Amino acid sequence: MKVLVQKFGGSSVADLECMKKVRAKVLDAVAQGYKVVVVLSARAGQTNKLVEMAYQWSDEPNPAEYDALLATGEQESIALFSMLLNDAGVKARSMVGYQVPVLTDNSYGSARIISIEAGHFLSELERFDVVVMAGFQGYSMENRITTLGRGGSDTSAVAIAAALSAEIGTVDCHIYTDVDGVYTTDPRMVPKATKIPKISYDEMLEMASMGAKVLQIRSVEFAKKYKVPVWVRSTFTNDEGTLVTQEDESMMESVMVSGVAFDKDQVRITILGVPDQPGVSAALFAPLADHEILVDMIVQKASREGITDMTYTVSHKDLKRALVYTEKVAEEIGAQGIEYDDQVAKVSVIGVGMRNHSGVAAIAFSALHKANINILMISTSEIKISCLIHANELEKAVRTLHTTFGLDGE
Ligand code: ASP
Ligand code: MG
C-alpha cells in the first residue's frame, strides 16, 4: 500500500473556498495511487475562539474540559472536509484522536504522544481512499481527551507518518501551510531571504526554536527521531517547498550558514559582584529551574579578586518571576545587586556547514563589528552562533549576517 500523509493548517481550511483548494491537492494524490491520510487543523481562528470562550465561562477552566473543548475545532474541520471528499466521489471518513487511537500522557494543554495504533488505522486505509484525521488531539490512559499544544497538528501528522512507516516502510509527510517553505530568514524583515530547498532536522530545530514558526518544534523532534521526511509546502502554489530530512555530506559541504534566525523575546538579567565560589551558579539557577523558568544564554565574567558578575537571559513573560527568585538568592550569597535590560534581542547564524568550516564565528563577529553593532553576549553550539545585541540594532544585524554569508537572493 502506497501511503502519503498530507497536513493542512488552519488558514488552508478556513472556509469552503480554501477547503476546495485542499481537496484538489488530496484528489491529486489519490489519482497518483496513494492512500491518503489527511491531517487537519481547526479552521483559522477557531481555536482562539474556543480559548476565549473557555475563559468567559470559567476563570480557571478545568484542564481536562478545556482540552475537550479545544479539540472540537478539529472535529468540525475533519467532518466538513470528509463531506467534500464524499461529494467528489472519494471514499473518505473522519477520525478524531481517540478513534485513531492516539494515546498521550495526561499533561492537558501540551500532552505528549505515547503511541499510535497503526494496525487499526491501516485497516481503515484498506476500506477508504482517504482517512481524515483530527490533528492536535489524543486521549489519555484515564480515557480523557487531550491536546498537544498550539500548532500541535504538525506533530499529529509526523506521528501518524512515523507510526505507519514502522509498518509499511517510509511514509512521507507533506505539511501544507500559507508559506511555500522554510526561508533563510524571515522574509518580512529581509525581503532578499530565499527559500531553502533542503534542510536538516537539527537546523530546522534551531530555526523553529528561534521564531521561524513554520513547524511546531515537537513535530521536528519527532521527525528526527523516526526519520520521517517532512516537506513544507504551500496550499496555494505548486511549489516543491522545503524538504526537512537527515543531514548528509552535501549539506555540510555546500554552505557554511543555512539561515539567520532571531529572537526578540529576550531580557538580560545581571547579578553584580557575586562571590566566586563553588555552588553559586547552582544556588542561582536551581530556583529558576524549579519554577520552570527557561534560561537561554548564560555568561559568567572572568573573576577578579574572588568576585564576578553573572548574566543570563529569559523571555519577557518570565522576567518578573525571575527577578523575584534571583533577588532572593543574590541577597543570600552576598552579591552586590542585580540589574536587567529588556531592550535586547538575539541573532543567530545556523548551519551544519559549521562542522566542516572553521572561522564562521570570526566572520560573523567581524561583520557585526563593521556594521558597528555591539555584541553583549555570545553562545555557540556545533551548528549555531548566537549573539545578544541591542534590540534596536536587530534588523541591521540580521541583514548584515544574511548578506555576509551569501544568503541574499534577488
Ligand atoms: N488548532 C490548533 C491551534 O491552533 C492546532 C494546530 O493548528 O496545529 O493551535
Ligand atoms: Mg501551524
Residue 135 beta carbon below 6 angstroms from any ligand 1 atom: yes
- Return the ligand 1 atom nearest residue 42 CA: 1
pLDDT (tens digit per residue) in 9-51: 999 999 999 999 999 999 999 999 999 999 999 999 999 999 9
Looking at the CA of 47, which ligand is closest? 1
Expressed in angstroms and rounded, the spacing between residue 153 Cα and the centre of ligand 1 is 6
pLDDT (tens digit per residue) in 137-151: 999 999 999 999 999
Q: What Cα–Cα distance (Å) separates residue 42 from each residue in 76, 186, 360? A: 7, 25, 42
Contact 157, 173 (CB under 8 A): yes
Spatial distance between the Cα atoms of 176 and 245, rounded to a whole number of angstroms: 16
Full-model pTM: 0.89
Contact 162, 153 (CB under 8 A): no
Q: What is the mean pLDDT of residues 217-245?
A: 94
The answer to whether position 191 is within a domain reads no
CATH label of the domain that carries residue 68 = 3.40.1160.10
Residue 47 beta carbon below 6 angstroms from any ligand 1 atom: yes
Looking at the CA of 216, which ligand is closest? 2
The answer to whether position 367 is within a domain reads yes
β-sheet bridge partners, residue 312? 269, 298
Identify whether residues 264 and 391 lie together within a single domain.
yes
Q: How many domains does the chain have?
A: 2
| Residue at which a domain ends, from 142, 161, 178 | 178
- Return the ligand 1 atom nearest residue 41 CA: 7
| Residue at which a domain ends, from 160, 178, 196 | 178
**Residue 33 structural domain:** 3-178
Expressed in angstroms and rounded, the spacing between residue 273 Cα and the centre of ligand 2 is 44
The answer to whether position 399 is within a domain reads yes
- Return the ligand 1 atom nearest residue 150 CA: 9
Identify whether residues 169 and 282 lie together within a single domain.
no
Element (H, E) at 271: strand 259-275
Per-chain mean pLDDT for the chain: 94
Q: What Cα–Cα distance (Å) separates residue 375 from each residue in 168, 367, 391? A: 51, 11, 11
CATH label of the domain that carries residue 333 = 3.30.2130.10
Residue 97 beta carbon below 6 angstroms from any ligand 1 atom: no
* Among 29, 25, 124, 35, CA closest to 81: 25
| Residue at which a domain ends, from 156, 178, 200 | 178
pLDDT tier for residue 165 given thresholds of 50, 70 and 90: very high
pLDDT (tens digit per residue) in 304-337: 889 999 999 999 999 999 999 999 999 999 999 9
Contact 270, 311 (CB under 8 A): yes
| Phi, psi torsion values for 364, nearest 5 degrees | -65, -45
